[in-house]
Amino acid sequence: MSGGKGNDTLTGGDGKDVFVWTLTDRGTSDQAAVDTITDFNKKDDSLNLRDLLRGERDDDGDNGKHSNNGDHEKSDVGDLLNYVNVAKVGGNTVLHISTEGKFSGNESSSAISNKEDQTIVLKDVDLTVEKGGHGEHAHDIDQTATLLSMLKNGNLNVD
């Protein structure tokens, strides 16, 4: 299922749904395209960003070619942090995306919004993992753990 260019609202319905973005779907860093999925199901559904993220690769620089099945290794997120930043807004999970991988992986939300050219809102579902513990940042989102969990659960496909 694909929204195409511009802002779209997507509803998958029952069963396993794959939501696909291609590079031409993106907006600009001045005005990101915002797509909303109304019924993303953690158990069955996945986001395919393979074509949207330009040059994303895993950490060993082999573009996933030498892993067992050609997929992103499930143990590391590689430079995915430069492309995707996950936020929790109310009951929604929001993916901020820089298709050119311009995020530093450690920056303020305003810096992120200046660089993002695609936003994906997953309504009423929480895919985030918090840092945990008791410190001041305990409830901050652990970006690496969140992306790993999405990759592992099949909610996110980038290769």
- What are φ and ψ of residue 118, in 5° steps? -145, 135
Smallest separation, CB 3 to Ca ion (Å): 4
The token pair at 120 is 């994906």
Contact map string, positions 28 to 67, toward Ca ion, x by CB under 5 A: -----x-x--------------------------------
Q: What is the nearest approach in angstroms of Ca ion to the Cβ of residue 76?
A: 29
- β-pairing, 92-97 with 118-122? antiparallel
Sequence-distant (≥ 6) Cβ neighbours of residue 60 within 8 angstroms = 66, 73
Cβ–Cβ under 8 Å, residues 121 and 54: no
CA atoms within 13 A on the CB side of 74: 9
The answer to whether residue 117 forms part of the interface with Ca ion (CB under 5 A) is no
For residue 141, list its beta bridge partners. 130
Q: How far is the CB of 136 from Ca ion (least distance, A)?
A: 37
Q: Does 8 bind Ca ion (CB under 5 A)?
A: yes
Beta-bridge mates of residue 18: 46
CB of 50 vs Ca ion, minimal distance in Å: 16
Contact between 3 and Ca ion per CB under 5 A: yes
Among all residues, whose Cβ is closest to Ca ion?
3
Nearer to Ca ion, 83 or 141 (CB): 83
Task: State the residues that interact with Ca ion by CB under 5 A.
Answer: 3, 8, 25, 33, 35
